[in-house]
Structure 1
Amino acid sequence: MQEEIFCSHCADFTEHSTVKMGREHLVRCMVCGTVHPHKLERTRLAILRVIVSAVNSSSRRTIELPAEETLEVGDELLVDDGVGEVAMVEVTSIEMEGGRRDERARAGDVKTLWTRAVDEVVVKVAVHRRGKTTSYSLPVGGDEPFEVGEVRTAGGRRFRVEKIQLRDGRSPARALAKDIIRVWGGAI
Structure 2
Amino acid sequence: MSQQRVAVRCPSCSPGAETAHEVLNEGGQATVRCGECSHVHKTTIQEESRVDRRVIVSQEDESTEARIDIPPAEELSTGDEFLVETDEAILTARVTSLELTDGSRADEASAEDVKTLWTRAVGNVAVNLTLHPKDGGHDETRSVKIQVPGDEKFVVGEVQEYGGEEFTVERILVRDDATNYHREGYDHDGDFALAKDCKRVYARDENAQQRAWSGW
TM-score of the pair, normalised by structure 1: 0.76
5 Å-filtered alignment, 1:1-188, equals: 6=9, 11-12=14-15, 40-80=45-85, 83-129=87-133, 130-132=137-139, 133-153=141-161, 156-168=164-176, 170-172=184-186, 173-188=191-206
Moved more, 55-64 or 165-174: 165-174
Distance of 1:9 and 1:155 partners within structure 2: 55
Gaps of 5+ in 2: 1-7, 19-28, 30-42, 177-182, 207-216
Gaps of 5+ in 1: 14-24, 26-37
Contact 1:96 1:102 in 2 (8 A): yes
* Partner AA of 1:171 in structure 2: G
Question: Secondary structure of 2:185's match?
Answer: coil
TM-score of the pair, normalised by structure 2: 0.67
Distance of 1:10 and 1:154 partners within structure 2: 53
Distance of 1:8 and 1:126 partners within structure 2: 59
Shift of residue 90, structure 1, vs aligned partner:
0.6
Distance of 2:158 and 2:55 partners within structure 1: 36
Distance of 2:44 and 2:204 partners within structure 1: 64
Shift of residue 39, structure 1, vs aligned partner:
7.0
Distance of 1:175 and 1:48 partners within structure 2: 31
Question: Secondary structure of 2:112's match?
Answer: helix
Question: Secondary structure of 1:149's match?
Answer: coil
Q: Quick check: which has more Rg, 1 or 2? A: 1
RMSD: 2.6
Taking a change above 3 Å as real, the CA distance of residues 11 and 153 of structure 1, as seen in their structure-2 partners, is closer
Identity %: 40
Shift of residue 70, structure 1, vs aligned partner:
0.3
Deviations along 1:80-126, one digit per CA (max 9) or x if unpaired, are 26x44111111001001231111111111110000000001100000
Distance of 2:204 and 2:13 partners within structure 1: 67
Aligned length: 161
